């Protein structure tokens, strides 16, 4: 068995096409998509339609959940100006598609490979972060109780394939290998290449090949303007555009600073983003 696994496309159609073209030359048996196909970039609907046309397993990421929860009174923060990029994705996808994205499974286990589990983040939720320094005790909590799409319980499969954190890495815990595939559409770490993995079942066990594919970064950046996304989503979209342009964190660090700046006084989002982009 030889599988390609990718996730975190984040509405970057140019990167998605580059990954799929590379996969087409890699002679894989199937693909698995690890969620966060939508949101952040300008082309959520195009990316989802392309992935949906692959007819392959897709697990739900936290960004599929975000677009599904938009407008729910229980999550009023999404209506703030800083989250206008979510509103753009919602506008593209429509209510029916958003609801279907929320119904995607959180875990996928191939019927003929019960020792491997595919998730977006972890087996307990869709937004657990893992780094090279995450304690083993935390990893055990994240993956101690996995279940496949049919609900069959498993305990620490030999291989867990995940996305969510946009940097490629591998960790070992209690005899299990946890592989983070990097990001197909929004790579970080300063390397502007679309990332994914190929996993092969060999006699000596599962083998992992991390791949990084050059794509037309400028084509994706142009879509911010030609689609109307930059104008619609405003200051937050400017930060996201820089994330795609530089392959570095921008929105997250900004929001942490913005929360500090707004304590004790009002600072507009527009001014705060301008100051942040100039300062960093």
Model confidence pLDDT, tens digit, residues 119-156: 999 999 999 999 999 999 999 999 987 755 444 554 68
Which letter does DSSP use for residue 261 in this model?
H
Structural tokens at position 124: 């307990």
> 243-275 burial, b for 16+ CB within 10 Å, e for fewer?
bbeebbebbeebeeebeeeeeeeeeebeebbee
pLDDT in tens, 197-222: 999 988 888 999 999 999 999 999 99
Residue 150 confidence (pLDDT): 46
268 has which bridge partners?
none
Chain centroid to CA 100: 18
pTM exceeding the 0.85 threshold for the entire prediction: yes
pLDDT in tens, 24-69: 999 999 999 999 999 999 999 999 999 999 999 999 999 999 999 9
Structural tokens at position 96: 């029916």
Provide the 10 A C-beta neighbour count for residue 147.
16
Q: Is the dihedral of CA 46, 48, 49, 50 positive or negative?
A: positive
Residue 251 confidence (pLDDT): 93
Q: What does DSSP say about strands 193-202 and 205-214: parallel, antiparallel, or unpaired? A: antiparallel
Q: How far apart are CA 184 and CA 195, in angstroms?
A: 5
Q: What does DSSP say about strands 153-154 and 116-119: parallel, antiparallel, or unpaired? A: unpaired
121, 164 in Cβ contact below 8 A? Answer: yes
Which letter does DSSP use for residue 113 in this model?
-
Q: How far apart are CA 181 and CA 60, in angstroms?
A: 15
Residue found under tokens 């983040």: 121
């Amino acid at each position: 068995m030889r599988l390609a696994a990718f996730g975190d496309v984040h509405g970057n159609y140019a990167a998605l096409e580059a990954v799929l073209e590379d996969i087409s030359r890699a002679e894989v048996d199937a693909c698995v998509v690890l969620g966060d196909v939508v949101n952040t970039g300008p082309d959520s609907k195009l990316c989802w339609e392309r992935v949906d046309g692959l007819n392959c397993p897709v697990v739900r990421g936290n960004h599929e959940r975000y677009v599904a929860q938009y407008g729910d009174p229980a999550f009023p923060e999404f209506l703030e100006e800083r989250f206008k990029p979510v509103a753009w994705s919602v506008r593209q996808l429509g209510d029916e598609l958003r609801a279907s994205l929320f119904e995607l499974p959180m875990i996928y286990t191939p019927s003929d490979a019960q020792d491997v589990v595919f998730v977006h983040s972890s087996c307990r939720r869709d937004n657990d972060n893992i780094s090279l320094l995450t304690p083993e005790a935390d990893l055990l909590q994240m993956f101690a109780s996995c279940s496949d799409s049919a609900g069959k319980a498993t305990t620490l499969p030999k291989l867990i394939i995940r996305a969510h954190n946009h940097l490629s890495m591998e960790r070992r815990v209690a005899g299990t290998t946890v592989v983070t595939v990097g990001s197909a559409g929004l790579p970080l770490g300063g390397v502007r290449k679309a990332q994914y993995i190929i996993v092969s079942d060999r006699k000596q066990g599962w083998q992992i090949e991390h791949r990084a594919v050059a794509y037309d970064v400028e084509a994706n950046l142009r879509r911010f303007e030609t689609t109307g996304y930059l104008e619609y989503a405003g200051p937050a979209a400017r930060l996201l555009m820089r994330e795609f342009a530089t392959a570095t964190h921008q929105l997250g660090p900004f929001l942490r600073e913005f929360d500090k700046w707004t304590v004790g006084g009002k600072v507009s989002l527009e001014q705060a983003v301008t100051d942040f982009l100039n300062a960093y």
